[in-house]
């Protein structure tokens, strides 16, 4: 997506603990939690990086 940095949510379980902190804190409600999967809506996300701060275990990176 032009003009947007890459947002990567590691939700395969190597880092992610599926706690939902990112989901609850996303101001645009564009992160979704299944029991074993976290996804986000590329079209809505503005890369505000709140989820990066919310995540207690560094499973979300922006670059």
Partner 1 sequence: MPSTITTDVLVIGAGPAGSMTAKWAAMKGARVLMIEKRQEIGSPVRCGEGMSKSWLPEVGIRPSSRWINLEVEGARIFSPREQAYVINEKHAGNEVGYVVERDAFDKQLAIDAGNAGVDVKLKTAALSLLKEGRQVVGARVKEYGETYDIRAPVTIGADGFESQVGRWAGIPTNLALRDMDSCLQYRMTNVDSDVRYCDFYLGKVAPGGYVWIFPKGDGLANVGIGVQCSQIKGPGEARKYLDAWIANHPAYSKGKKIDMVGGGVSISPPLKQTVADGIMLVGDAARMIDPLTGGGIANGCIAGKICGEVAAEAVELRTPTKEFFQKYEKGWRARLEEKLYRNWIAKEKLCSLPDEVFDKVIEALQSIKLEKLSVHNILKAVNQTHPEVTREFAELL
Among 20, 41, 42, 46, binds partner 1 (CB under 8 A): 20
Of residues 2 and 38, the one with the C-beta less far from partner 1:
38
Q: Which of 13, 17, 36, 37 binds partner 1 (CB under 8 A)?
A: 17
With beta carbons less than 8 A apart as the criterion, state whether 22 and 53 touch. no
29 interacts with partner 1 by CB under 8 A: yes
Q: Which of 63, 3, 61 is nearest to 22 (CA)?
A: 61
Residue 40 CB, nearest approach to partner 1 (Å): 13
How many degrees, rounded to 5, is the angle at CA 30 between CA 44 and CA 41? Answer: 55
């Amino acid at each position: 997506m032009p003009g947007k940095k890459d947002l990567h949510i590691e939700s395969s379980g190597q880092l992610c603990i599926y706690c939902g902190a990112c989901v609850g804190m996303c101001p645009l409600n564009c992160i979704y939690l299944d029991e074993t999967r976290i996804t986000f809506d590329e079209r809505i996300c503005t890369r505000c990086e709140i989820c990066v701060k919310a995540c207690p275990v560094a499973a979300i990176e922006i670059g």
